[in-house]
Structure 1
Amino acid sequence: MHFYQVIIGTEILNRRRNDRHFLFLSEELLKRGEKLHASFIIEDDRTLITKTFELIKSDPEAILFSFGGIGSTPDDLTREIAARVFTQKPLVVHEEAKRRILDQFGDDAYPHRIHMAELPENAELLDNPVNNVPGFSVDRRYFFVPGFPQMAHPMVRQALDLLLPDAKPLARRTFTALTSENDLIEMMQRVPAEVELSSLPAFCGDRRIAVISLSAKEPEKVETWYRRFVEYMKEKGIEWVEGDRHDDPDLCSPEA
């Protein structure tokens, strides 16, 4: 699965509001052993939203979480564009969404709020714990939630529990090699695709260091490749310490 995030909101780009969705979604995915494939923050612009959704749809492994633009004001374009891109059909009235909106607002649902019940055909609802106006999904792959974090984040958790009911965090080992990452490339090239390798170079005082992280769904694979790195560093006379120590003042002091 490739997880995409689209945050729709001119107010974030012009700094009238701070984004609270990127960190939230990335952390929720990490808890389940997954990570974001890409994240976009875009304006409330019809053409830009359409092209972004079309790009994501072109990936057969895509799972989308779209934040914002599903309300009833003129700049709320997401529902209409989602219907056109992901179903190739116009919006239709979702009777259960309509019922929830009427239960919440009564006569005040008209003339504007009731339009939030117009959703892509065969959309499934996501529960809103704040005001009962639902988010929705298409094909259980494309999920659309409000821009308000208090509403959006419970919906995202609901969707992730549906998608990844038995998910667990990735196993991970991290160490700091007291050498340039160039000295470890030969070993890095041996790591198989099923083990995710991250190498972050840094300066520790005047010394080059590399923070190496190994992760995988299977803990035994992580441990195997961690041991192989240790054996390689011993063979090459490279010092290392456990964990990410790139900003450790004790390690990076001139006397260390």
Structure 2
Amino acid sequence: MSIKNPNFYLVIIGTEILNGRREDKHFKFVRDELLKRGWELTATFIINDNPSLIEKTFRLIKDDPKSVMFSFGGIGATPDDLTREIAAKVFRNSQMEENSKAKELIIEQFKEKAYPYRINMAKLPKNAKLLPNPVNKVPGFYLDERYFFVPGFPQMSHFMIKYALDKYYPKNSEKYRYTICVEASENDLMDIMKKIPKDVEFSSLPSIEEGQYKDVISIASYSNDEAKNWIEFFIKEVEKKGFKYKKGKNCI
């Protein structure tokens, strides 16, 4: 069963990204796919192929009772592909099993060349379910309908992520957002900001243009009335202070 009000985490495993040999292709893709569906990322981790670091990252995410994780990389057959075993350790108390469907797909794709190495990709954490791979049929996998593990190749993994989202997290409730741009510094508006309730999404993005302080104030909520009422409150307070402002997300 999918998690209600989930916190989405992205884990990108790849020393080659951190040392500059490859550019990341996953962050923007996942962020945008979530936004299309009304979701947002909670955190993104780009880490090297260090078993201890991978395990600690997975455990950190597991500790969040509302976590949903997309992990990229490390599920292949080479010696540095460690994600399957670490996922089993963290999420299944190290229990692994040969997944019969994954084995069938690997043999179908590679025939006799499935042995002796590629067949190891069928050894997955216990009770793993599969994510389809349109490129070479070697599947990704997921656990508990919330922890998704895909290859590092965008051509394969991005299809799998869309499949997972469409199946388990297709659409969130609409979030209503109101934005104003105020010709003032954050310090000038601090006393107003403090009156916004902690459970209302609020952000302040300051800038300086030609010596003029500007601050983009954004207030959002799944309740349109709540978001609208608080931005109207903010506008009234700004007017009391005599600062100029413009409305709208393109007000900069």
What TM-score does the superposition give when structure 2 sets the normalisation length? Answer: 0.92
CA distance in 2, matches of 1:179, 1:113: 61
Tell me, yes or no, if the aligned pair for 1:135 and 1:145 is still in contact at 8 Å.
yes
Counterpart position of 1:100: 105
Which letter maps to 1:28?
Answer: E
What are the superposed Cα offsets for residues 142-189 of structure 1, whole Å, 9 maximum, x if unpaired? 110110111111111121223323325522222211001122222222
CA distance in 1, matches of 2:175, 2:106: 40
Tell me, yes or no, if the aligned pair for 1:67 and 1:145 is still in contact at 8 Å.
yes
Identical amino acids, percent of aligned pairs: 51
Counterpart position of 2:25: 20
Which letter maps to 1:138?
Answer: L
Counterpart position of 2:215: 210
What TM-score does the superposition give when structure 1 sets the normalisation length? Answer: 0.90
Which letter maps to 1:3?
Answer: F
CA distance in 1, matches of 2:131, 2:198: 35
Which letter maps to 1:104?
Answer: Q
Tell me, yes or no, if the aligned pair for 1:31 and 1:168 is still in contact at 8 Å.
no
What are the superposed Cα offsets for residues 203-226 of structure 1, whole Å, 9 maximum, x if unpaired? 021011111111222233222222
Local SS of the residue matching 2:203: strand
Which letter maps to 2:149?
Answer: F
More deviation, 4-13/164-173:
164-173
**1:149-164 maps to which residues of 2 (within 5 A)?**
149-164=154-169
Counterpart position of 1:131: 136
Local SS of the residue matching 2:133: coil
Counterpart position of 1:253: none
Counterpart position of 2:45: 40
Structure 1, unpaired ranges of 5+:
249-256
Counterpart position of 2:224: 219
Structure 2 residue 182 is matched with structure 1 residue 177: yes
| CA shift for structure 1 position 90 | 3.2
Counterpart position of 2:3: none
Tell me, yes or no, if the aligned pair for 2:38 and 2:171 is still in contact at 8 Å.
no
Tell me, yes or no, if the aligned pair for 1:30 and 1:169 is still in contact at 8 Å.
no
Count of equivalent residues: 247
Equivalent residue for 1:6, pick from 3, 11, 24: 11
**1:226-237 maps to which residues of 2 (within 5 A)?**
226-237=231-242
More deviation, 10-19/152-161:
152-161
Equivalent residue for 2:76, pick from 40, 52, 71: 71
Aligned structure 1 segments of 4 or more residues deviating by more than 6 angstroms? none
Equivalent residue for 2:123, pick from 90, 109, 118: 118
Tell me, yes or no, if the aligned pair for 2:88 and 2:125 is still in contact at 8 Å.
yes
Structure 2, unpaired ranges of 5+:
1-5
